[in-house]
Amino acid sequence: MFAASLESWPDVLTTVLSLAVLGFMATRLVTGVRVARSTSGRAVVREVRRRIAWRHVWPVPIVLAAVILVAGALMLVPGLDWGWWGALGGEGNPVFGSTDQTSGTVWEWIIPLAFMAMLLPALPLFANAEERMFRRGAEAWSTRRRVLKTLQFGLVHALIGIPIGAAFALSIGGAYFLRVYLRSYARSGSTSDATMESTTAHTVYNGVIIGVVLLALCLTALLP
């Protein structure tokens, strides 16, 4: 009996850690919603919505296809398919709240839906934070620094649980956002304008990903 209890400890620990991650992500998302409702947050959201145009939409399928192809190839390399969220039984990005711990229950789709409902209002703010961190000021950087920053943008996603190979592949998205930033800066000469332009491209890109995840979630809930 004691031995059986010891054997169950890894499963118990995995469950506790998974729930802790979901709780942390929920807290972050709630904070994001609150900031989105603030005066400064609403200003960013309004500006992004005002800017959205076809130029931000049509490149997304191409960029996503490149990310998926490169991620698939990299994750065939031993070790690059590892991510701590997957090791805990999670699926994809923990911000979507998909995990084996809720598989086969109604929570399998309720939690991801709730997470996405909280994520959407704050999407421009999360994108803006990353653009200010990884693209702002890039007009003055050397080529070497631009490459390093782009790789850092991808790899930082491994810290939140995405498999290492997939995180590397996300650098392709970072390269696309950098291109948007630099083109906007060349046109306007304004760092702030360029940052908002790359923020808009980043927001649309993330929005498309959420749409794909939402579609897959609906199919999972509806199909037997």
Q: Using one digit for the tens of pLDDT, what is the confidence trace for 94-129?
A: 777 677 666 767 777 778 888 888 889 999 999 999
Q: Which of 1-10, 46-55, 88-97, 209-218 has the lowest mean pLDDT?
A: 1-10
- Digit-coded pLDDT (tens) for 51-77: 999 999 999 999 999 999 999 999 999
Q: What is the pLDDT of residue 4?
A: 39
Question: Do 93 and 161 contact (CB within 8 A), yes or no?
Answer: yes
Token readout for 64 is 């996503």
Q: Which residue shows structure tokens 């290492």?
A: 164
Question: Do 140 and 200 contact (CB within 8 A), yes or no?
Answer: no
Asked if pLDDT for residue 5 goes beyond 50, the answer is no
Give me Rg for the CA atoms of the chain: 19
3-state SS, residue 90: strand
CA dist 57 and 52 (Å) reads: 8
pTM score, whole prediction: 0.89
Question: Do 48 and 200 contact (CB within 8 A), yes or no?
Answer: yes
Token readout for 17 is 């850690």
CA dist 185 and 136 (Å) reads: 10
Question: Do 173 and 156 contact (CB within 8 A), yes or no?
Answer: no
Q: Which residue shows structure tokens 């995840």?
A: 213
Q: Which of 91-95, 121-125, 149-153 has the lowest mean pLDDT?
A: 91-95
Question: Do 87 and 200 contact (CB within 8 A), yes or no?
Answer: no
Helices 191-222 and 39-51: crossing angle in degrees, nearest 10, is 80
